[in-house]
Amino acid sequence: MRRWIWLSVVAVFAIAYPLLLSSPFQQRLGALVLLYAIAASAWNIVGGYAGQVSVGHVVFFGCGAYAAMGSYAKFGLSPLFGIPGGIVIAVGLAAIIGVPTLRLSGHYFSMATIAVAETMRLIVTNTDWLGAAVGLSGPTVPRNIFDLSFLSSLPYYYLFLFVLVITLFITWWMTNSRMGFYLRAIKDSERAARSLGAPASRTKLYAYMLSAALTSVAGALYAMMFGFVDPESGLGILISVKILIMAALGGAGLLFGPLVGAAILVPLEEISNSWLGGKGAGLTFVVYGAIIVLIARFQPGGLLSLFTQRRKSKSDTESKSDTGAGHAP
C-alpha cells in the first residue's frame, strides 16, 4: 500500500514538475534528468539486474544518436525515423559483442566493453561518411513537428517522461517474469544457477540486447534534443561512466535507482557548473567528485538501498533489526 502511495506522489510530481518550475532552464533540467534516467535505467537491466558491469554502453547510445542524426543528415528524413534503425543496429551489435564477451568474468567483461566502445569511437572518428570528427547535425530550423526541434523543453520533457515510463515498465515486467528470476539467480551465483538448469548465457544475452535497444533510444532522444552528435559526445567513454554512476549512485538493481541517481546528479552537475564553472578553477568537479566519493564510501549499495533496507528491517520480525547490508563492514 505504502508503495502505491509513494508511486503516485512521484508520478504526480513528475507530471506537474514543468508546470511548477516553469523557467526554460528548470524545464530543460527536468528533461535532462528524465533523459539520463532512461539511459541509466536501460543500463540497469544488464548492469544492475544481471550484474554485468558494462562500461561500454555508450556504443548503443551512439548507435541511436548516429541513426537519428544520420537519417536527417544523410537521407533528409526526420530524426525520428532513425530510432528503429538505431534499435536494430544496437541489438545486432549487442548480439555480436555479447556472445564472446558475456562469458568473460567480472572485470574482463568491463574491460572488453571499454575496448569495444573505444574501437567504435575511433572507427567513427575516421569515417567520413559518418561525419568523422566533425560530427552530424540535425535540422537547424525545424521543417515540421516531426523534426522534434522545439524552442521549449516542455515537449521534450513529456516525451522523455513517456519513454521513461515505458522503460521502467519493461524493466518491472522483466524482473517479475521468468527472465528476472533467472537473472537474480545468475547474479547471486552463476555456477549455482547453471547447475539448477537456468539458461545463463542466453538469459544474459537477452538482457544485454534489451538493454542495448533501450539505450539506443536514449541516444536518439539525446541527439534530437541537442541537434548534434560527434564522436566525443555520442561515443565518448565518459558518457558510459556517467550513465553507470547515476545507476550506481541511486541503487543498481533497483527499479527506481537510476531515476534517483539522475535526479541528484544531473541538477548537481548543471547547477554547480552554473555557479562555479565560470570561475574556471575546476571547483565544479571538486564538489562533484567529493560527493560521489562520499556516497560510494558510506552508501556503497546506492542511495535508494537506504529505504529498501529500512523496509526489510521493519518487516524482519527477528531480533537483528538492522542487518547493515550494503554498509561497509
Residues within window 138-157 making contact with other proteins, judged by CB under 8 A: 140-141, 151
- Residue 196, classified by CB atoms within 10 Å of its CB into exposed (0-12), middle (13-18) or buried (19+), is exposed
Mark the segment that binds other proteins (CB under 8 A) among 5-13, 73-81, 123-131, 158-166: 123-131
What is the rounded CA–CA span in Å between residue 103 and residue 84? 28
Q: Could you tell me which residues come within 8 angstroms of residue 105 by beta carbon, excluding any fewer than 6 positions away?
A: none
Q: By CB under 8 A, is residue 303 in contact with other proteins?
A: yes
Which of 211, 222, 194 shows the shortest CA–CA distance to 252? Answer: 211
Backbone angles phi, psi at 229, to 5 degrees: -145, 135
Binding mask 156-195 for other proteins (x = CB under 8 A): ----------------------------------------
Q: How far apart are CB 281 and other proteins at their closest, in Å?
A: 5
Which is closer to other proteins, CB of 197 or CB of 314? 314
**What is the pattern of x (binds other proteins, CB under 8 A) and - over residues 48-87?**
-----x-x--------------------------------
In DSSP notation, 272-327 reads HHHHHGGG-SSHHHHHHHHHHHHHHHH-TT-TTHHHHHHHHHHH--SS-----TTS
Angle, to 10 degrees, between the axis of helix 178-188 and the axis of helix 154-175? 80
Beta bridge partners of 136: 229
283 binds other proteins (CB under 8 A): yes
Q: How many CB atoms lie within 10 A of CB 162?
A: 11
When asked if residue 233 is in the footprint of other proteins (CB under 8 A), the reply is yes
In whole angstroms, how close is the CB of 226 to other proteins at the nearest point?
A: 5
84, 137, 165, 190: which one contacts other proteins (CB under 8 A)?
Answer: 137
Count residues near other proteins (CB under 8 A): 93
Binding to other proteins by residue 328, rule CB under 8 A?
Answer: yes
CB nearer to other proteins: pick between 25 and 146: 25
Residue 195: is it exposed, middle or buried by C-beta count within 10 angstroms (0-12/13-18/19+)?
exposed
Under the criterion CB under 8 A, does residue 23 sit at the interface with other proteins? yes
Residues 6+ apart with CB under 8 A from 210: 45, 46, 170, 174
* Binding piece for other proteins, criterion CB under 8 A, among 73-81, 162-170, 176-184, 283-291: 283-291
User: Counting contacts by CB under 8 A, is residue 277 touching other proteins?
Assistant: yes
Q: Which of 77, 84, 95, 125 binds other proteins (CB under 8 A)?
A: 125
111 is an interface residue for other proteins by CB under 8 A: yes
Q: How far is the CB of 162 from other proteins (least distance, A)?
A: 21
CA nearest neighbour of 157 among 293, 55, 21: 21
∠ CA 302-306-311, nearest 5°, is 135
Please report, as residue ranges, which positions from 91 to 110 form the binding site for other proteins (by CB under 8 A).
Answer: 100-101, 103-108, 110
Shortest distance (Å) from residue 42 CB to other proteins: 16
Residue 317 interacts with other proteins (CB under 8 A): yes or no: no
Q: 12, 21, 166, 192: which one contacts other proteins (CB under 8 A)?
A: 21
